[in-house]
Amino acid sequence: MIRTGGWKRRAALGVLTIPLLTAGCGLLPGQSAEQIDPPVVQYNMGNEEAAQAGAALADTAAKQGGQQLTVYLKDSADYLAPVTLTADPAEEAGEAGRIALEMMVEDGPHAGELPAGFRGILPKGTGVSSVHIDAKQKLATVDFTKPFTDYSLQDERKIVEAITWTLTGIAGVEQVEILHEGEKLAEMPVDGYPLSKPLTRQIGINLEVGPGVEHSQSMPVTLYFSALSEDNKQYYVPVTRLVDRSEEPAREVLQQLISGPLDTRELNYVMTSDVEVKSISLKGDTVTVELNEETYEEGQQLPAEMLQAVVLSVTENTGAAKVLIRVNGLSDVVDTNNRSYAEPVGRPDFVNALKA
């Protein structure tokens, strides 16, 4: 049955530093990988309390002349997670990018603004000289000061992921280039992560490998699971999982959500094994997801975490703007926050608007 809450389970998760392999296929039947551009969206969402916090953040920021920025921070389990923070207003996207990156500096000037259990991933003392955005190339070029190279080997990939996912959350940015003291880096200085080509979200985030999966026969899917903060607030964590290549990659995304997190100590299930994926299809900018669940009855409220995780995961992997969810053929779906899914739902404006 579909449950209204997740289980809090914990298991050790090793650090993965392998590169993502391209699948050679699109995420919906009949599409090639080249037909799908990486989505450029803002990551902002949570449960009812987080949604209310997000609305409060927006209202407060508007009154104070501020803005919301979504940045990627380390949580208490060392996962990168998007967190929406209020910042001083910026007239240009490049300036907004600079402010966002400064919020990600460990023990930096914004450390007191971070929610409990979250901390910056950029090395202590790092400065951001500039962030330049080339609108034509959809490229953000960031120039860091010297302390940027002072980090541990195990943090290198996380640093690259956090920078890339934060800057590509800015409208009009799809690629990222990293400079250090004015010089373009060919690779990261500690473990040699390659930087010869611009970075995109295709590098993944919080990378893991599915059980029994061979890298050479794999494809990446990015899934959103639920977690609890140190002060017991729910938030979402994106995880890029290498899975066996599939003729129906978009269906595989949902199957992996049903399978649940590999790290069941830190991440929570958002769906249960008795949910069945009947079909998934794309028309225009909308993906329609048909689910079956034996115990579901019309008018029953479904867990907000489940429906929101479906929207986040499906739009992340397909590039579609909206998702229409039907359960047992019914489209008048309502979640436990009384939000209707009767019409196609897009990605919300705020993800993990957690209070400091």
Q: Could you read off the pLDDT of 244-282 as tens digits, one per residue? A: 999 999 999 999 999 999 999 999 999 989 999 999 999
CB atoms under 10 Å from CB of 285, counted, come to 13
Residue 192 is predicted with a pLDDT of 97
Residue 16 is predicted with a pLDDT of 36
Distance CA 261, CA 210 (A): 10
Q: How many Cα atoms are found within 13 Å in the side-chain-facing hemisphere of 250?
A: 30
Q: How many Cα atoms are found within 13 Å in the side-chain-facing hemisphere of 292?
A: 5
End-to-end CA distance of the chain: 35
Residue 26 is predicted with a pLDDT of 39
Instruction: Give 222's strand partners.
Output: 240
Band of residue 207 on the pLDDT scale cut at 50, 70, 90: very high
**Residues 342-356: what's their mean pLDDT?**
87
Distance CA 100, CA 145 (A): 16
pLDDT in tens, 315-342: 999 999 999 999 999 999 999 999 999 9
Distances (CA, A) of 238 to 76, 79, 180, 233, 235: 15, 9, 28, 16, 10
Distance CA 271, CA 110 (A): 35
Residue 138 phi/psi, 5-degree rounding, is 55, 40
Distances (CA, A) of 13 to 17, 220, 262, 264: 13, 18, 8, 10
pLDDT over 80 at 4, yes or no: no
pTM: 0.83
Residue 350 is predicted with a pLDDT of 77
Residue 355 is predicted with a pLDDT of 82
pLDDT over 80 at 140, yes or no: yes
Band of residue 113 on the pLDDT scale cut at 50, 70, 90: very high
Residue 65 is predicted with a pLDDT of 52
Q: Which tokens in the block code for residue 255? A: 């199957």
Nearest CA to 338 among 310, 300, 306? 300
pLDDT over 70 at 1, yes or no: no
Residue 348 is predicted with a pLDDT of 78
Residue 353 is predicted with a pLDDT of 87
pLDDT in tens, 280-294: 999 999 999 999 999
pLDDT over 60 at 37, yes or no: no
Q: Could you give the percent of the chain with pLDDT greater than 90?
A: 73
**Residues 39-52: what's their mean pLDDT?**
38
